[in-house]
Every structure is written in C-alpha cells, then in structure tokens.
Amino acid sequence: MPPKTVRKCVERALDNLSATKLDRFRNELVKRKQEPRIALNRVEGKRSWEVVGEMISTFKEDGALEVTKELLEELEFTEDAETMLKEAMEAGYRPPPPAGGAAGAPAAGAQAAEEHFVDRHMDVLIQRGTGIDAILDALLKEKVLSPEIYDDIRSQRTSQAKMRELYSGPLRAAEEVKDIFYRILKAQQPLLVQSLEKK
C-alpha cells in the first residue's frame, strides 16, 4: 500500500536507501548551497526518519520532498526519486507551478523568443538529466524518433552520452521536436524543469 502522506513518502524513500546511499544523501544534504541549510551535526549518524524530521522542520513537508528528489537525482538514484514522486502524487502532492505562471503558462518556445528552453539549459540537462530511457520511450511513442535512432541512442552507456546524442541529432531537427521534448521532460521530471525555469 502506498504511503498516505508526503512525509511518509520521503521517509519511505530514505528507508529504502542502503547505508552507503544514505551516507551519500546526508553528505549532499549538508553541502547544499541554497538557503535554508542543514548543519552536519543535525543529521550526521542519524537514522533515515530522523533526517526526514530535520528536513521537514527546515523545509516544510513539500519542500523536504523537493529537496529529497533534487538530491536523489544529483546522486543518480533515479528510480528512488521517481518512485517517491509517484507515491507522493498519489498521496495528494502537487508540484508547485513554475515561477511567473501556473498551469496554462506559455509554451517552452515562447518563454524566450531568442532561445528555446531546451537550448538554453542544454548543459544542465545533459549533466543532470535522469530517467533518459523513459524520455526516449516517450519520444519513440510520439514518433519523434525512428526505431533505428532510438536503438542508437539507447546503446550509449551513460545518461549523459544518451542526452548528447539526442541533442546532436533529433533535437536539432525542428522547434516542434524541442517542444515535444520539453513537454515530456516537464511531465517526467517536473522538479528539475521548475528549478531551471526559476533561473
């Protein structure tokens, strides 16, 4: 049975991490540059549920979930992040609307007339983009990728290499392709897109 509160979703995500992964998570948490920050002595050696308690007292419940997803993605614990977000949405969590707009905000291409969102944030999307296989599946379903190009990109060994192949080929084809990629990215990785839109 999925958790019924956002807090329980975050607790479950951290409970499911191995001891080594939890250590890495705590380390990334205290290294965050954004305010508010959590001091090392508040989470060092703490159990997962104690770490969650500190995060909720610092970031509030939804903020704790957003920070947890951000850190899990940075650590490339992609499945953990995606599972947590899915369970949280089932428990009633809704990602905050992008800065400067809500649902019905202008399409990605209209955000900056001179440069598309996908082009503007290429470096970050290549380095931090996770869940690329699911994105490729969606692009194939939308018929943006041919089966041959899909197989070529999937054969790359790392997420970064797959994303570079996507940028060097299909994403150069047309603005419409970038719009479709943006829409898929926003649906599958809403927190990453929102953090970039705020910049």
- Does residue 125 contact residue 184 with C-beta atoms inside 8 Å? no
Burial grade of 27 (CB within 10 A; 0-12, 13-18, 19 or more): middle
pLDDT of residue 142: 86
Q: Is residue 139 part of a domain?
A: yes
Stretches where the chain sits below pLDDT 70 are 1-2, 96-114, 129, 173, 199
Q: Is residue 67 part of a domain?
A: yes
pLDDT of residue 100: 44
User: Are residue 79 and residue 146 in the same domain, yes or no?
Assistant: no
pLDDT of residue 68: 93
User: Are residue 82 and residue 14 in the same domain, yes or no?
Assistant: yes
User: Are residue 29 and residue 86 in the same domain, yes or no?
Assistant: yes
Q: Is residue 147 part of a domain?
A: yes
pLDDT of residue 86: 87
pLDDT of residue 114: 64
Domain range for residue 35? Answer: 6-90
Q: Is residue 101 part of a domain?
A: no
Whether the predicted model's global pTM rises above the 0.85 cut: no
Q: Is residue 47 part of a domain?
A: yes
Q: Is residue 14 part of a domain?
A: yes
Cβ-proximal residues to 153 (8 Å cutoff; 6+ apart), any chain: 136, 145, 162, 165, 166, 169
The enclosing domain of 38 has a CATH number of 1.10.533.10
